[in-house]
Amino acid sequence: MNAPRKPGAHAPVLSNDLFRLAIEAAPTGMVMVDQHGTIVLVNAHLERLFGYSRDELIGHPVEMLVPERFREHHPTVRDGFYDQPHARAMGSNRDLYGRRKDGTEVPVEIRLNPVITPDGVFVLSSIVDITERKRAAAQLEASLREKETLLKEVHHRVKNNLQVISSLLSLQAGYVADDNLAAMLQDSQNRVHSIALVHEKLYQARDLARVDMGEYLATLTKHLQGALGRTEADVTLEIAPIELELPLDAAVPCGLIVNELVTNALKHAFPGRRSGHVRVRAGVGDDRRITIAVSDDGIGLPPAFDFERSSSMGLRLVSTLARQLGAKVSVDREHGTTVQVTFQVPS
């Protein structure tokens, strides 16, 4: 350690009692250094924080409070401050540490304030021990990680259980002789699958809370094409690019609605081995309303068909889920059939 320099006792500011009292009463550690980096003033809080007595500090370079690994570089940092002396936080976005007398380090937050006097510019630093804050932040981070792990585990288990249900339905279908009944079990399996997929997409999502509907609907429709691909018609299924994220409670009904509408189109729109086209699109309008539409260029609905009063389980499911979403369902019968579901973006 360098020999103590004569503290800047010549500076009038230091002989001002009111100034000294204010520094002493400050609720944080305070240290003032002159242009050479020599400590000229400290308060009791700083003494307690670093474990030095006032006499051990005054007249010595401020670098004695800096951990050894940063010590060599510190005078350059100090000179940098004098080039542009204005009040600011030290080392923003960096972790700062002070070195105590016993050699241990303490995480700190430091604010630098120039004190301009006729005798030159001094730097008054307030130093706060942030050990507790850092510990609390680390605890919060650990608890967030734990929550994330737990949520992932829940989604995983839900998905596993849905796989068991799906397997049960599939196995059951192998035990029924009636083709209609087997088809119903297949429909039920697809509905379970559409819910399971929401959990899969959530599990993969960054925030584990919102589903990327573009990815979800693409995977869902691909699955449906595989599951129902052996229908009579040679149908191409197209999904328009979708940029939409929805929370779990909106994603599940949306998924089920698309599941029903696509299933319906694949099964009924193209009888007699004709080829066809089914298109799924979704988007958010300027009025923040979400539209999901399934179109086909098939034979169209019968003239007397009333969507709301349909006896089909699938279409009743669409109406029920649409009500749950507060959605309006409209049917366009031009060039095949388009069923459009419109609802407000959930908050």
Partner 1 sequence: MSRGRILIVEDESVVAWHVEHSLGGEFEVTGVAASAQEALASAAQTTPDLALMDIRIRGDLDGIQAAELLRQRHGVGVVYLTAHGDAETIERARHTEPYGYLLKPFHRDALLDTVRSALLRVARERVSR
Q: At which residue do the structure tokens 């068909």 appear?
A: 305
Q: Report, in Å, the least distance between residue 79 CB and partner 1.
A: 46
Between 99 and 191, CB nearer to partner 1? 191
Q: At which residue do the structure tokens 């399934």 appear?
A: 294
> Which residues contribute to the site for partner 1 (CB under 8 A)?
152, 156, 159-160, 162-164, 166-168, 170-171, 174, 192-193, 196, 200, 203-204, 223, 226-227, 229
- Cα angle value 336/337/341 (rounded, 5°): 160
SS3 call for 254 = helix
Between 97 and 203, CB nearer to partner 1? 203
Structure tokens at 191: 């509905």
CA distance 217 to 236: 15
Between 45 and 191, CB nearer to partner 1? 191
Q: Report, in Å, the least distance between residue 193 CB and partner 1.
A: 5
Between 46 and 251, CB nearer to partner 1? 251
Residue 139, phi-psi category: left (phi > 0), alpha (psi -120 to 50), beta (remainder): alpha
Four-residue CA torsion sign, 239, 243, 244, 245: positive
Between 170 and 291, CB nearer to partner 1? 170
Q: Report, in Å, the least distance between residue 262 CB and partner 1.
A: 15
CA distance 24 to 47: 11
How many Cβ atoms are within 10 Å of 10's Cβ, its own excluded? 13
- To the nearest 10°, the Cα dihedral for 334, 325, 317, 279? 40
| Cβ atoms 264, 315 nearer than 8 A | yes
Structure tokens at 2: 């360098």
CA distance 237 to 229: 10
Q: Report, in Å, the least distance between residue 165 CB and partner 1.
A: 9
Please list the residues that pair with 235 across neighbouring strands: 276
Structure tokens at 242: 């979708």
CA distance 4 to 6: 7
Between 80 and 174, CB nearer to partner 1? 174
Between 62 and 278, CB nearer to partner 1? 278
Q: Report, in Å, the least distance between residue 292 CB and partner 1.
A: 23
Q: What strands, in cross-sheet order, belong to the sheet with 337-344?
A: 235-239, 276-284, 289-296, 337-344, 328-332
Helices 179-204 and 131-173, packing angle to 10 deg = 170
| Cβ atoms 289, 341 nearer than 8 A | no
